[in-house]
Amino acid sequence: MLALIGGTGAGQPANLQVTRRLVVRTPYGDPSGALTFGEVAGRPVVFIARHGYGHTIPPHLINYRANIWALTQQPVTHIVAIASVGGIRTDMGPGTLVIPDQIIDYTWGRKQTMFEVGEHPVTHVDFTEPYSGDLRSALLDAARQSRVSVVDGGTYACTQGPRLETAAEICRIQRDGGDMVGMTGMPEAVLAREVGVPYATLAVVSNWAAGQQDSQRGVVFSAASGVFEAAMMRANSVLEALVLTGV
């Protein structure tokens, strides 16, 4: 069964036919909310809103460990995270869909591992390729099947939040090789790696990052113009095509 994690602006998928909800308790505390089970194109899917269903949990306070643990206690085979990001690279303007292949982590103080000192042996996971190559390929195939344009690859820079970045910080991220910026990509990706579930991100660009393109005078979100909403509709088409492949 495919698990979906929704982020800012990416609430419960419109094409998800809900069948039930389940409150889960975890060894790491409460997840962001109940798990929502349903069907997309007749296939089973489970969904969780990482910011909570009222969008009340800021990025640095999300219980990523509880969310991942709760999902993986279900018969989940793959996890796709839908993430809202700011575009840095010139081909990643508002409304663009991106399937990133790398991460730079600028966060601090977040619980980065399921294996706490004293409870488990020290565990070092290979994170050379932070996203599942097979799942990324499946997402790219799904985009082609649904005739939706996506950018193949790019580096997701994860910042602490909840404030947006300064123009100088975005310049630094750009020099480091970051192509888009978000606040929730880590430690979500590494926790999925620790529990052995293939994980990939479908990023939706909501705005130019600070100081880029038309944001020199301040960040302008695309939601007001309907660009982000249209992009989310395309993202849902990709996810539906992915589900139909049997992932």
**pLDDT confidence band for 15 (50 / 70 / 90):** confident
> Treating both helix axes as pointing N-terminal to C-terminal, what angle do 64-72 and 188-195 enclose, rounded to 10 degrees?
40
Retrieve residue 244's tokens: 């139909």
How far apart CA 210 and CA 185 sit, in angstroms, is: 19
Q: Output the known binding site for substrate.
A: 183, 207-209
Retrieve residue 220's tokens: 């302008």
- Say if residues 2 and 242 touch (Cβ distance below 8 Å): yes
pLDDT for 95 equals: 94
pLDDT for 200 equals: 98
**β-bridge mates for residue 205, sequence order:** 85
Q: Where are the alpha helices (DSSP H) in the chain?
A: 64-72, 133-145, 167-176, 188-195, 227-244
In a domain, 36, yes or no: yes
The residue-averaged pLDDT of 26-52 equals 92
pLDDT for 14 equals: 63
- Say if residues 141 and 147 touch (Cβ distance below 8 Å): no
Q: How many CB atoms lie within 10 A of CB 204?
A: 26
Q: Is 185 helix (H, G, I), strand (E, B) or coil?
A: coil
In a domain, 122, yes or no: no
How far apart CA 40 and CA 45 sit, in angstroms, is: 7
Which CATH number goes with the domain that contains 198?
3.40.50.1580
pLDDT at 150 over 70: yes
pLDDT for 147 equals: 96
Which residues constitute the domain of residue 190? 2-117+127-244
In a domain, 223, yes or no: yes
The number of folded domains in the chain is 1
Q: Output the known binding site for phosphate.
A: 8, 50-51, 184
In a domain, 211, yes or no: yes
pLDDT for 119 equals: 67
pLDDT at 77 over 60: yes
pLDDT at 214 over 80: no
At 85-117, the pLDDT tens digits run 999 999 999 999 999 999 999 999 999 999 875
The mean predicted confidence, pLDDT, of the chain is 91
Q: Output the known binding site.
A: 8, 50-51, 183-184, 207-209
In a domain, 135, yes or no: yes
